[in-house]
Amino acid sequence: MNRHHWWRDAVIYQVYVRSFLDSTGDGIGDLAGVRAGLPYLRKLGVDGIWLSPFYPSPQHDHGYDVADYRDVDPVYGDLDEFDRLVTAAHRLGIRVLLDIVPNHCSSGHPWFREALAAAPGSPERARFHFVDGRGPDGSEPPNNWHAMFGGPAWTRVTEADGRPGQWYLHMFTPEQPDWNWRNPEVAAEFDQVLRFWLDRGVDGFRIDVAAGLFKHPELPDSPDPEADARTRDSVNPLAWNQPEVHDVWRHWRAVCEEYTARDGRERLLVGEVSVPSAREHAKYVRPDELHQAFFFDLLGAPWDADAFRKVISEAMQDIAGTGSTVTWVLNNHDQVRTVTRYGEPAPEGSGLGAARARAAALLMLALPGAAYIYQGEELGLPEVVDLPDDVLTDPIFRRTGSRARIRDGCRVPLPWSGQASPFGFTSGAESAKPWLPQPEYFAEYATHRALADTRSSWHLYRDGLQLRSALHQLGEGTLRWLDTQPGVLAFARGDDLVCAVNFGTAPVPAPVAGTPLLASGPCRPGELPGSTAAWWIDGS
Ligand code: NOJ
């Protein structure tokens, strides 16, 4: 019999460290804050946490611009505090995943500084993509690619003689130069970085931009250079999803297996894989590659029964076929929160959006495979849609000429207690200011209040997680779609567990008689109200 692999149906909680809990009173969350919040997460019942990047960084993209892959930024703590956090988490049975950023580093990284100081053609420059420009004086970028966050993907440098010189590639901001993974020094360096953190006891890594790393070797022009920025997705087929990347994941998997062979603890690699189809996605989770890859199509689906059924069916067909399980996600630190995405654009979220977000969560937790929850999702937090321009920090906002306000609203610091900002987020004085302002209505969502109210989203998530552990039908396995009327999805897990979601607004007959085991909203026996999901054990 197959030994159970913990990650196959794990539920992991994404901690956006900056916004979780601040232990120093500077208005910015930190690692000691995460440690203080562990009992809360233990109560919720998650299997592990993924920590957003906390490494030394100039914070041009909130830590996704790493200047030192082997340390902790003083804003977030230090290595000793990191060790204390891992020990405390393990004591509570919570695994710890780090966020590793291998596609690019910070322009403040020592190797990039060395590259800037070195001459064209030098080994220092060969760790990045330094290329001569086009045109008679090299004043045009080497190709027409645009960066994901807007603007050209190339920046020209000034050479030691003071003249304009080569260009370097950055698929995100100019402060995030892309590594050249065709250079074996880069691969060797990341091998050491992985081992550095594995030696400190981590349970695995969330891999940023896991379909990146390699670019087409000739860096040719793209027929649609603005596609990435326009779609906010990695769709330029010359810059992403190159076949060579799979060798890197095979190597990283082997490193993880090496550690497992030593101590029996299975490590986890989860990739941020954004590729054009479920079939391409499946390649990343072949048995000798990544354990998991986020399946973003569920997150991208509109609130519509047919759309949800299509993405779920495709995932089950293409990904489950690899022997891995599907990794579901509805929210993260880059996306508008579900409550707002599924609802009307009201500052405090709308009743409809909140109900739909709860139903979607129950659906996700009933699907076969693993799931990730983004901090605040369990509180039913809406997106903060009315942040003033002058507090926004997302580089996308600045680089698109202030057109795109996408990622700050889901990063507002969590409310823990009390009636007014900082809602217990900072340990400082009442006057301490969180790094992004919290709206007054956050009081309704504070964790203290959520824990005390059995009708809160927190209780729904907690109950769902408890049932996942208690019921063998949930977690891994398959699903069987049941016949339903349009606008309703229902599926069976195992012989007798049924999950149904009513995407419409009017009640429909429930697919199973009797009281549900768990429901995302009030249900009368025999009926499934609109915007509601429920689980039943079918005893008939
Ligand atoms: C994906 C991360 O989730 C996002 O926050 C970041 O800006 C980009 N990768 C670049 O590292």
Could you give phi then psi for residue 525, rounded to 5 degrees? -55, 140
> What is the 3-state secondary structure of 205-254?
EEECCCCCCCCCCCCCCCCCCCHHHHHCCCCCCCCCCCCCHHHHHHHHHH
pLDDT value of position 399: 73
Residue 374 Cβ inside 6 Å of ligand 1? The answer reads: no
Edge-to-edge strand ranges of the sheet holding 480-481 = 480-481, 488-493, 497-502, 532-537, 518-519
CA 172–ligand 1 middle distance (angstroms): 8
Q: Is 208 one of the annotated active-site residues of the chain?
A: yes
DSSP string for residues in 370-427 = EEEEETTGGGTPPP-----GGG---HHHHHTTT----SSTT-SPPP-SSSSTTTTSBS
Residue type at position 399: R
Using omega within 30 degrees of 0 as the cis cutoff, is the peptide bond preceding 422 cis? yes
Whether residue 209 has its Cβ less than 6 Å from ligand 1: yes
The question of whether 383 is a catalytic residue gets the answer no
Closest residue by Cα to residue 108 from 161, 177, 172, 6: 177
Over its C-alpha atoms, the chain yields an Rg (Å, rounded) of: 23
Structure tokens of 367? 């699907």
Residue with tokens 């490494």: 55
- Asked whether the beta carbons of 437 and 389 are under 8 A apart, the reply is no
Phi/psi of residue 325, each to 5°? -120, 165
Question: Best substitution site from 51, 97, 105, 208 to test ligand 1's pocket, by max atoms within 8 Å of Cβ?
Answer: 208
Amino acid identity at 269: L
Antiparallel, parallel or unpaired: β 497-502 and 488-493: antiparallel
Neighbours of 515 (CB within 10 A): 13
Q: What angle do CA 379, 532, 19 make, to 5 degrees?
A: 15
Domain boundaries, the chain: 11-101+332-457, 110-169, 478-537
Residue with CA at minimum distance from ligand 1 atom 8: 64
Q: How far is the CA of 208 from the centre of ligand 1 (A)?
A: 6
DSSP H/E element including 13: strand 11-15
Take atom 3 of ligand 1 and give the residue whose Cα is closest: 334
DSSP 8-state code for residue 132: P
State the closest ligand 1 atom to the C-alpha of 104, by its place in the atom list counted from 1: 11
* pTM given for the model: 0.96
- 408 Cβ below 6 A of ligand 1: no
Give the model's pLDDT for residue 36. 98
Task: Report the residue among 14, 52, 64 best suited for mutation to probe ligand 1: largest number of ligand atoms under 8 A from its CB.
Answer: 64
pLDDT of residue 1: 36
- How far apart are the C-alpha atoms of 330 and 278, rounded to whole Å? 17
Going by alpha carbons, the residue nearest to atom 4 of ligand 1 is: 334
Least Cα distance to 209 among 41, 66, 382 occurs for: 66
Q: CA 92, 93, 95: angle at the middle one, nearest 5?
A: 115
What is the residue type of 476? Answer: E
* Nearest CA-CA partner of 331 in 368, 356, 352, 357: 357
End-to-end CA distance of the chain: 31
The DSSP secondary-structure symbol of 134 reads: B
- Written as tens digits, the pLDDT of the chain (540 aa) is 346 899 999 999 999 999 999 999 999 999 999 999 999 999 999 999 999 999 999 999 999 999 999 999 999 999 999 999 999 999 999 999 999 999 999 999 999 999 999 999 999 999 999 999 999 999 999 999 999 888 899 999 999 999 999 999 999 999 999 999 999 999 999 999 999 999 999 999 999 999 999 999 999 999 888 888 787 788 889 999 999 999 999 999 999 999 999 999 999 999 999 998 888 999 999 999 999 999 999 999 999 999 999 999 999 998 877 889 999 999 999 999 999 999 965 555 569 999 999 999 999 999 999 999 999 999 999 999 989 888 888 888 777 766 666 789 999 999 999 999 999 999 876 667 999 999 999 999 999 999 999 999 999 999 999 999 999 999 889 999 999 999 999 999 998 999 999 999 999 999 999 899 999 999 998 999 999 999 999 985
Check: CB of residue 130 under 8 Å from CB of residue 168.
yes
Given the residues 73, 175, 203, 208, select the one marked as catalytic: 208
Q: How far, in Å, CA of 181 to CA of 248, rounded?
A: 9
**378, two tokens:** 């369990």
Class of 110-169 per CATH?
alpha beta
User: What DSSP line would sit under 17-62, residue for residue?
Assistant: GGGT-BSSSSSS--HHHHHHHHHHHHHHT-SEEEEPP-SS---TTT
Mention the CATH class of domain 478-537. Answer: mainly beta
Which CATH architecture group holds 11-101+332-457?
Alpha-Beta Barrel (3.20)
Does any ligand 1 atom lie closer than 6 A to the CB of residue 61? Answer: yes
Q: How far is the CA of 351 from the centre of ligand 1 (A)?
A: 30
CA 15 to CA 375: how far, in whole Å? 6
Specify the residue for token string 């400082």. 428
Which of 258, 288, 304, 306 is flagged as catalytic? 258
